[in-house]
Amino acid sequence: MSLSVIKFSSEECGICHKMSFYDKKVVEELGLLFIDVKMQDTATYRQYRKILLSQYPDKSQMGWPTYIICDSPEAEFQIIGEVKGGHPKGEFRSRIQEVLDSTAANQN
Protein backbone atom coordinates (compact mmCIF):
# COMPACT_ATOMS: atom_id res chain seq x y z
CA MET A 1 0.00 0.00 0.00
CA SER A 2 1.41 3.39 -0.99
CA LEU A 3 -0.51 6.04 0.90
CA SER A 4 -0.68 9.69 -0.04
CA VAL A 5 -2.12 12.70 1.72
CA ILE A 6 -3.80 15.06 -0.71
CA LYS A 7 -4.23 18.59 0.61
CA PHE A 8 -7.10 20.48 -1.00
CA SER A 9 -6.74 24.17 -0.21
CA SER A 10 -7.22 27.68 -1.54
CA GLU A 11 -4.67 30.42 -2.10
CA GLU A 12 -7.00 32.85 -0.28
CA CYS A 13 -7.27 30.67 2.85
CA GLY A 14 -5.20 31.98 5.76
CA ILE A 15 -5.46 28.73 7.73
CA CYS A 16 -4.35 26.75 4.67
CA HIS A 17 -1.31 29.02 4.35
CA LYS A 18 -0.49 28.66 8.07
CA MET A 19 -0.72 24.85 7.85
CA SER A 20 1.68 24.86 4.88
CA PHE A 21 4.56 25.73 7.23
CA TYR A 22 4.51 22.16 8.63
CA ASP A 23 1.89 19.91 7.01
CA LYS A 24 4.14 18.53 4.26
CA LYS A 25 6.97 17.88 6.73
CA VAL A 26 4.66 16.03 9.16
CA VAL A 27 3.16 13.90 6.38
CA GLU A 28 6.59 12.95 5.03
CA GLU A 29 7.89 12.17 8.54
CA LEU A 30 5.01 9.67 8.80
CA GLY A 31 6.25 8.01 5.60
CA LEU A 32 3.47 9.25 3.32
CA LEU A 33 3.55 11.07 0.00
CA PHE A 34 2.27 14.68 0.15
CA ILE A 35 0.27 16.10 -2.76
CA ASP A 36 -0.64 19.80 -2.60
CA VAL A 37 -3.73 20.73 -4.63
CA LYS A 38 -4.71 24.39 -4.74
CA MET A 39 -8.24 24.87 -6.07
CA GLN A 40 -6.93 27.69 -8.31
CA ASP A 41 -4.42 25.36 -10.00
CA THR A 42 -6.86 23.93 -12.52
CA ALA A 43 -4.47 21.37 -14.03
CA THR A 44 -3.56 19.81 -10.67
CA TYR A 45 -7.11 20.12 -9.36
CA ARG A 46 -8.48 18.35 -12.44
CA GLN A 47 -6.03 15.48 -11.85
CA TYR A 48 -7.31 14.84 -8.29
CA ARG A 49 -10.87 16.13 -8.60
CA LYS A 50 -12.44 12.66 -8.77
CA ILE A 51 -11.01 11.88 -5.32
CA LEU A 52 -12.40 15.06 -3.76
CA LEU A 53 -15.80 14.67 -5.43
CA SER A 54 -16.11 11.03 -4.33
CA GLN A 55 -15.85 12.27 -0.73
CA TYR A 56 -17.68 15.61 -1.20
CA PRO A 57 -19.95 15.50 -4.27
CA ASP A 58 -21.02 19.14 -3.89
CA LYS A 59 -18.01 20.30 -1.80
CA SER A 60 -20.38 21.68 0.86
CA GLN A 61 -19.04 19.71 3.86
CA MET A 62 -15.33 19.97 3.15
CA GLY A 63 -13.09 21.96 5.49
CA TRP A 64 -10.31 24.38 4.67
CA PRO A 65 -7.93 22.77 4.21
CA THR A 66 -9.12 19.21 3.64
CA TYR A 67 -6.51 16.43 3.76
CA ILE A 68 -7.65 13.17 2.17
CA ILE A 69 -5.54 10.11 2.98
CA CYS A 70 -5.71 7.93 -0.07
CA ASP A 71 -4.19 4.73 -1.44
CA SER A 72 -3.12 4.82 -5.11
CA PRO A 73 -4.36 8.34 -6.00
CA GLU A 74 -3.04 7.98 -9.56
CA ALA A 75 -4.97 4.77 -10.26
CA GLU A 76 -7.97 2.98 -8.74
CA PHE A 77 -7.83 5.06 -5.59
CA GLN A 78 -9.22 4.09 -2.22
CA ILE A 79 -9.92 6.76 0.40
CA ILE A 80 -8.59 5.68 3.79
CA GLY A 81 -9.66 8.72 5.83
CA GLU A 82 -9.40 12.46 6.15
CA VAL A 83 -8.47 15.38 8.34
CA LYS A 84 -10.38 18.64 7.94
CA GLY A 85 -9.52 22.15 9.01
CA GLY A 86 -6.54 23.80 10.66
CA HIS A 87 -4.74 22.20 13.59
CA PRO A 88 -1.55 22.88 15.56
CA LYS A 89 1.39 20.76 14.37
CA GLY A 90 1.17 18.11 17.13
CA GLU A 91 -2.59 17.70 16.79
CA PHE A 92 -2.32 17.48 12.99
CA ARG A 93 0.26 14.68 13.37
CA SER A 94 -2.01 12.87 15.87
CA ARG A 95 -5.04 13.09 13.58
CA ILE A 96 -3.13 11.71 10.58
CA GLN A 97 -1.68 8.97 12.81
CA GLU A 98 -5.19 8.04 14.05
CA VAL A 99 -6.29 7.44 10.45
CA LEU A 100 -3.20 5.30 9.81
CA ASP A 101 -3.73 3.33 13.04
CA SER A 102 -7.40 2.63 12.26
CA THR A 103 -6.39 1.44 8.78
CA ALA A 104 -3.77 -0.90 10.23
CA ALA A 105 -6.28 -2.23 12.78
CA ASN A 106 -8.82 -2.94 10.02
CA GLN A 107 -6.26 -4.92 8.03
CA ASN A 108 -5.43 -7.29 10.89
* pLDDT for position 60: 86
* pLDDT for position 1: 59
* pLDDT for position 91: 97
* pLDDT for position 83: 97
Mean pLDDT by groups of 10 residues along the chain of 108 residues: 90 95 97 96 94 92 94 92 96 96 78
* pLDDT for position 89: 97
What is the model's pTM?
0.93
Whole-angstrom distance, CA of residue 10 vs CA of residue 32 = 22
SS3 28: helix
Whole-angstrom distance, CA of residue 61 vs CA of residue 71 = 22
Whole-angstrom distance, CA of residue 106 vs CA of residue 87 = 26
What backbone torsions phi and psi does residue 62 show, to the nearest 5 degrees?
Answer: -75, 155
